[in-house]
């Protein structure tokens, strides 16, 4: 790969340095999305445990269990969005690895995940598969079921 002139500042950088820097930026984005997804799961479990504890305390009620479903669903949606963005950044990473050595500098250092939607295989089927993945479906459906079941049990006690 030949040297690339960046920003018209007469700074010449080798192509490999540019490739590695862009890959590093994308990898950091992927890591952040994965960490945010994990944090959503972490908060969802903490919320469910807190609701279970409060439901069976002196000031708990079945209403608390029912209301807590909404934050769980919100965390589920946020987790889904972070996983979707992570998938888009992974596709972008693959694009960079395959196209930069061939001299394609389209979108160099561009970190907008929507920019390359037409170049990737990301579609509604991918979103549905992310939404129904085991890390999403079983965790959140399980937590919602446990919280609602505790509210129902509390109602009949």
Identify the pLDDT of residue 11. Answer: 38
Find out whether 42 and 135 touch, Cβ atoms under 8 Å: no
Mean pLDDT of 77-88: 91
Residues 6+ apart with CB under 8 A from 99: 106
Is residue 88 very low, low, confident or very high in pLDDT (cuts 50, 70, 90)? Answer: confident
Check residue 66 and give its pLDDT. 86
The two counts, helices (H) then strands (E), for the chain are: 5, 2
Strands (E), the chain: 4-6, 11-13
The mean per-residue pLDDT over the stretch 5-12 comes to: 45
- 19-77 pLDDT, tens digit per residue, is 788 888 889 999 999 999 999 999 999 999 999 888 877 666 778 888 999 999 999 99
Instruction: Convert 98-134 to b/e letters by CB count within 10 Å (16 or more is b).
Output: eebeeeeeebeeeeebeebeeebebeeeeeeebbeee
Lowest mean pLDDT among 7-11, 72-76, 143-147: 7-11
**Distance between CA atoms of 32 and 26, rounded to whole angstroms?**
10
Give pLDDT tens digits for 129-142: 777 777 788 999 99
Q: Would you place residue 117 in the very low, low, confident or very high pLDDT band (cuts 50, 70, 90)?
A: low
Cα–Cα dist 84/120, whole Å: 13
């Amino acid at each position: 790969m030949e040297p690339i002139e960046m920003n018209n500042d007469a700074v010449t950088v080798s192509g490999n340095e540019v490739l590695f820097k862009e890959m590093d930026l994308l990898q950091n984005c992927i890591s952040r999305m994965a960490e945010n997804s994990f944090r959503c799961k972490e908060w969802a479990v903490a919320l469910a445990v807190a609701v279970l504890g409060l439901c069976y305390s002196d000031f708990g009620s079945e209403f608390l269990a029912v209301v807590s479903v909404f934050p769980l669903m919100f965390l589920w949606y946020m987790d889904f969005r972070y996983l979707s963005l992570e998938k888009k950044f992974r596709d972008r990473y693959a694009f960079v690895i395959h196209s930069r050595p061939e001299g394609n500098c389209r979108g160099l250092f561009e970190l907008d995940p929507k920019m390359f939607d037409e170049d990737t295989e990301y579609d509604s089927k991918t979103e549905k598969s992310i939404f129904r993945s085991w890390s999403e479906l079983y965790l959140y459906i399980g937590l919602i079921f446990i919280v609602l079941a505790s509210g129902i049990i509390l109602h009949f006690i």
